[in-house]
Amino acid sequence: MADYKNFTLETDADGIALVVWDMPDRSMNVFTEEVMRELDAIVDRVAAEAAIKGAVIASGKDTFSGGADIAMLQKMLKTFAVEKAAGVEKATQKLFETAGFMSGLFRKLETCGKPWVSAINGTCLGGAFELSLACHARVAADSDAVKMALPEVKIGIFPGAGGTQRVPRLTDQQQALQMLTSGQTLTPKKAKAMGLVTEIAAPDALVEAAKALIRGGLKPVQPWDEKGFKLPGGPVYSMAGANLWPPAIAILRRETYGNYPAAAAILKCVYEGLLVPFDTALRIELRYFTEIMQSREAAAMIRSLFISLQELNKGARRPEGVPETEFRKIGVLGAGFMGAGIAYVTARAGIPVVLLDRDVPSAEKGKAHSAELMDGQIRKGRATPQDKERLLSLITPTDAYADLDGCDLVIEAVFEDSAVKKAATEQAEAILKASAVLASNTSAIPITALAKNSARPKNFIGIHFFSPVDKMMLVEIILGRKTGDKALATAIDYARAIRKTPVVVNDTRGFYVNRCVLRYMSEAYKMLIEGVPAPMIENAARAAGMPVGPLALTDETAVDLAQKIMHQTVRDLGEKAVDPEQMELIDTLVDKFDRKGRKNGKGFYDYPAKPAKKSLWPGLKELYPQKKPEDVDFEELKQRLLAVIALEAARVMEEKIVTDPREADVGSILAFGFAPYTGGTLSYIDGIGAKPFVALARRLQKKYGAEFKPPKLLLDMAEKGETFYERFDPYRKMEKKAA
């Protein structure tokens, strides 16, 4: 019997081979070159041995597979980059062949003459789901753990191993397009309703149900390989097709503004592929896949949203030699909106949490926030009443600091006032053991200043959450001047425990994210003052790739908060620190018109009662003389909004506030949605090139002011032809440590 490293193969008395995928030393199965070579040999064996009547492929782990391995994607892109220098055509052909191996393997499997069934026991993503679709039937476990998706579009590519061709041949084209262009996750019931799953079985009967299909005479031929096959929902050239494709193209344009080539390629693959025989369709898909893999967007998104994101989530910035923290109890000081949210995500991670406020009713109110969030999850079918009861049992509301005894970590989330924070820190430290870490959730006050209130500044750190805490996936971990490695390691361990992505930031006013966001908002205020119509500002931001316009974002965070920040900045740094015209605009909105943002139903937008949608306040047109739309350079608006943020990110790197470009990029996307197709703030500059970007910045500086002045770091990079990932190569630091 042949030996395989990543698979086992056993044949039962009925001649059904059970192929179990169980990679050693991996928590999850992934596709590597070795895995694909072994699977290729297994397919040959199943086809060749007369005693084998069919095969079931299952996982030996809790999940089925996460899809392609990071290293394999990296190697493919690096090889192409190296070979491209010797000749684009030859390099492209090699990329086409390399990328096509998986597609060819799956095609071999489905045409081998023996029936294959995929037994899906848990997460099944990307190439793993494409493998399952190539099988002649799919059985999914009846479990909340089963999640199926083709999410490649989220990292700038698309399913290139048959996904764009098999999905629309198993379900109708509208559902197929929605799934493929959004990366939609499917439950077993949803997948079965779409025709993508054959059966749903009890988890403990999964493999037996898959075998039963083969015993029952499962045909070893896919529907599209049979004569007379008809597409679900009808052909492309039909009344249904005429009603689907023109709107689909328009919707894609509306949602992406042409910024995501992979999403457009999906439409082309499906449309063109459904007009030709299946093998030709696979070749069409592979040609588009090869094209997209060469795009700037794919390279940037794969790096930031796949590779860097996973590295940071695994603790790339965690100091070495510090034992991992096992959290037995965590304290949260302040049961307001932020504190209540922190308590919720902590309890959701299964960690007992003490929620402390000035009195028990206030603390109970904070706990009630968790109950409301769980009620929402129950309504959506994502949780059960038992889950709610279990989570709430982990939250202890109190007004007694003595209840913090035994906490490994305490997070202070009280009112943004230095005196209040000082009192909370001193009272907490009087109870805490010497090894405990105290973190502040401040969004504005420097951590070094707050650490002066602590008797043990080495164990004092900032953990800056974003609102709403339960939805936002990023936390900024801020180092004070005296913060030690243990505090940093503990903060990163906590972020990982609650499934948030940590970025490490050195201390400064506004840290990293808020400095960038405030620039974004400020540039919009400046545009308004110039007379640019408000709708053009918001539309330019969306067209540039931002999920929310700067005026809408100001409303969400509160206009009166912007006012407080401006006035505090003037008190701290002097009158020249804030543009007086911008301050006058915000003062006018708040003081004259009581427009404080979404929270009081009026800001830059009006917020009528549902179901009516918000709309820009007509009064904005009366504040400043309006330019005619035709006199405004729309492309330049887009450039201003992205460049002003990117320049601030470059300054943050120059000042060594952020030292790892991965954190700057991932942080900008997760915190405020900086145009994901660019890969983040620094990848945006790298993608343009330092020299052309500096030229753009200088042109904008000449027209619009000092906020576009390129920092010395960028000028030096432009002169040397460097990128941020060359100048601040995070892997070089890791290699030095390893050496």
Positions of E strands within 545-609: 605-606
Task: Please state, in angstroms and as integers, the Cα–Cα distance from residue 580 to each residue in 198, 334, 523, 575, following that order.
Answer: 65, 35, 14, 8
Strand partners, 200: 140
Of 435, 425, 427, residue with least CA distance to 402: 427
How many CB atoms neighbour CB 461 within 10 A? 28
Torsion 265-267-271-273 (CA) sign? positive
State phi, psi for 478 to the nearest 5 degrees: -105, 130
CA dist 121 and 100 (Å) reads 27
Place of tokens 């007004």: 399
CA dist 476 and 503 (Å) reads 5
Tokens of 92: 């492209």
Of 538, 1, 446, residue with least CA distance to 257: 538
Place of tokens 């404080």: 596
User: CA angle, 607 as apex, 605 and 613 as ends, to 5°?
Assistant: 95
User: Does 136 participate in catalysis according to the annotation?
Assistant: no
Residue 38 half-sphere exposure, CB side, CA atoms within 13 Å? 19
User: Are the C-beta atoms of 469 and 345 separated by less than 8 Å?
Assistant: yes
DSSP string, 65-78: B--B-HHHHHHHHH
Q: Which of 136, 369, 464, 567 is catalytic?
A: 464
User: Are the C-beta atoms of 345 and 362 separated by less than 8 Å?
Assistant: no
State phi, psi for 481 to the nearest 5 degrees: -60, -30
Pairing of strands 137-141, 54-59: unpaired
Active site residues: 464
